[in-house]
Amino acid sequence: MEYTFKIYLSANELPLDWENIVGKYNTLLSKSYFEALDDAKPENMVCYFAAFFSDEILIGGALFQYLSFIDHPTFQKKEIGCDVKNFLAKKLSKDVMFIGNNMLTGQNGFYFNKEKISTKEASILLDKATEFMQKKYRKSSLIIYKDFQSKFMDLFQSKNYDKYFRFSVQPNMMLKIKDCWGTYEDYLNDFSTKYRSRAKTARKKSNEIEKRELNLNETKKWSARINFLYQNVADNAPFNTFFLPKNHFYRLQESMKGNFRIFGYFLDDEMIGFYSLILNNEDIDTYFLGYDKDLQKEKQIYLNMLLDMVEFGINEKYTRIIFGRTALEIKSTIGAEPFEIFGLIKHNNSLINPFMERIFPSLSPKTDWVQRKPFKV
């Protein structure tokens, strides 16, 4: 049995059976998502797609993302805490190749049909594709396998990965929707008095806000405002690896149809916030959001968005909501719990690579936070 792979520069070139073999198992590896990514990715990002074959039969796929950091606007920031990261990033990581998706949290980088290939063979094949990318297409400063759970550790046990440093960053916050939550009120009634009161107070503060899902025409109409609100939140972060282009949300909704949902918050006919979701089989992946920072505290916009996401998940009968690894504490107040995720990193400079274990914490320091327990004991 011969295992091979092929690299594609465009989603339009992917094999005809891609959706049935790869895409249906993870929406974030689907052709519809990749086509939108082709047209509306960040300026400093280049994407490649790998298809894996067993005797010419498609058995898996992967996403490779190159990110160039050297001219990225985030490195021009002068806030405290940025200078060290910016200096190290410029010196050590002019560009990075991710095996995975740097735009979301989670194992969205590859898929293999386990009935067609063993873990060991998949590990070897993935490494071969990674090395091929570095030699044939573009050698990067860093190579990162992104966001895999402990159950995937067996995939990286071969000697091919001996030179990689295993790291753990901020946890992925997830909420598992209980079967007994038939309605949003059922969910709220599971809260202790303190957190139930907090949620109800947030709802009252948003009484004047009109909340509605946007159709494709509305997303296009409000695209400039959506981008402005997104930038409000993105610019507030001390360190960003990319910024989304203005057509990003419209293009995702156009390509992914019902698997991409976007909701607007309106006050006096002006959009003051939005959030977006990617529906991924039984999971909901929370995507990017934005809000008017002058109204955020007064209207508790962010907390209302989190609660609205939960209500959507319950009403639509999803199993789990994946909230990502930012704003950990407030996400824990609505019941999300932390799940550890790992990565592998290697520097292509053989003199620097042995020190990655010491260098990495300076590039991606962990944030101290307190996990809240909102549910009744």
Q: What is the pLDDT of residue 78?
A: 52
pLDDT tens digits, 147-201: 988 777 778 888 889 999 999 888 999 999 999 999 999 999 999 999 999 999 9
Q: How confident is the model at residue 74 (pLDDT cuts 50, 70, 90)?
A: low
The answer to whether the CB of 34 falls within 8 A of the CB of 49 is: yes
Long-range Cβ contact pairs of 75-82 (< 8 A, separation 24 or more): 77/238, 77/239, 79/238, 81/238, 82/238, 82/239
Q: Give the per-residue pLDDT at 332.
A: 98
Alpha helices (H) in 244-365, listed in sequence order = 248-256, 296-299, 301-315, 328-332, 356-363
Among 79-83, 135-139, 240-244, whose mean pLDDT is lowest? 79-83
Residues in the chain: 377
Q: Give the domains, in start order, of the chain with CATH numbers.
A: 3-169+341-363 (3.40.630.30), 173-339 (3.40.630.30)
Place of tokens 């916009």: 301
Tell whether the model's pLDDT for residue 217 goes beyond 70: yes
Band (46; pLDDT cuts 50, 70, 90): very high
Q: Using CB atoms within 10 A of its CB, is residue 296 exposed (0-12), middle (13-18) or buried (19+)?
A: middle
- Contact indicator for 34, 14 with CB cutoff of 8 Å: yes
Give one DSSP letter per residue of 279-302, joined into a string.
Answer: EETTEEEEEEEEE-TTTHHHHTHH
Q: For residue 375, give the DSSP letter.
A: B
pLDDT digits (tens, 9 = 90+) for 309-322: 999 999 999 999 99
Running DSSP on this structure, what letter comes out for residue 263?
Answer: E
- pLDDT band (50, 70, 90) for residue 241: confident
How far from each other are the two terminal CA atoms of the chain, in whole angstroms? Answer: 54
Q: What is the pTM of this model?
A: 0.93
Q: What value does the CA radius of gyration of the chain take, rounded to a whole number of Å?
A: 21
Six token digits for residue 77: 């920031």
Mean pLDDT, the chain, integer:
92
Name the band, by pLDDT with cuts 50, 70 and 90, for residue 90.
low
Mean pLDDT for the stretch of residues 326-335: 97
CB 309 within 8 A of CB 199: no
Question: Residue 80: what pLDDT?
Answer: 47
Contacts of 245 (CB under 8 A, 6+ apart): 40, 41, 42, 43
The residues, any chain, with a CB within 8 Å of residue 276's CB and separated by 6 or more, are 249, 252, 260, 261, 262, 263, 286, 287, 288, 289
In whole angstroms, give the CA distance from residue 231 to residue 236.
8
d(CA 183, CA 175): 15
pLDDT of 70 above 90: no
Closest by CA to 91, choosing from 50, 57, 142, is 142
- Kindly report the number of other CB atoms within 10 A of residue 304's CB atom: 21
Closest C-alpha among 142, 95, 170 to residue 344: 142
Residue 288 backbone phi and psi in degrees, to 5: -80, 155
Mean pLDDT to the nearest integer, 47-76 = 88
